Amino acid sequence: MSVDLFPNTDVINFGEVSGPVNALLQQGVIAYRKDRKRADELFRQALATAPSELPVYFCLYKIHTYQGNLDEAEAAARGGLIEAATQAGWDTDWHNWVPYDLLPDGPGRFALYTLKALAFIHLRQNQPELAVEKLEALKVLDPTGAVGWPVVAALAEGLD
């Protein structure tokens, strides 16, 4: 079974990324459809080129989650979480994050989204206790569920 990472699109809007990184990401998206190893190489090349570009981490953890390479997905998500927290001016340990009156944009939102992604990855790794820990934090950090954690929480509840 094949899962199309970016269906029905020719060009993906990755937001504000440099031209060279955008080119690598676009090539990676195209390669993913037929050559997943090449897609990984392109995304890793983008990461080596610009480790501060958050969409690169997203691409890596997304493709590896879809492929079931959960250790790779977790590593990419952890890297993205740390980079996003650093850019947001937050502690790199998510346990020390505090809620804001308004959900942050930019790196802060990416950090919360990636914390949700880690919860999902942990569910797939059959580590529900790690997933629930992150989901409990997200209930406080994002009480409206804006980054989509309630969907992952429902999946976790379904495993009980």
Residue range 106-139, pLDDT digits in tens = 999 999 999 999 999 999 999 999 999 999 999 9
Percent of the chain clearing pLDDT 90 (strictly above): 84
pLDDT level of residue 101 (50, 70, 90 thresholds): confident
| pLDDT for the residue numbered 160 | 61
**CA torsion angle for 118, 155, 133, 121 (degrees, to 10)?**
-20
Q: What is the DSSP letter of 137?
A: H
For 159, counting Cβ atoms within 10 Å of its Cβ (0-12 exposed, 13-18 middle, 19+ buried), the class is exposed
Q: Give the whole-angstrom CA distance, residue 146 versus residue 124.
A: 22
For 119, counting Cβ atoms within 10 Å of its Cβ (0-12 exposed, 13-18 middle, 19+ buried), the class is buried
In 3D, which of 47, 59, 57, 60 has the Cα closest to residue 20?
47
Q: Give the whole-angstrom CA distance, residue 38 versus residue 151.
A: 31
Q: 94 versus 102: which is more confidently predicted?
A: 94
Where exactly are the structural domains of the chain?
1-67, 70-160
Q: Give the whole-angstrom CA distance, residue 32 versus residue 41.
A: 10
Please say whether the beta carbons of 18 and 41 come within 8 A: no
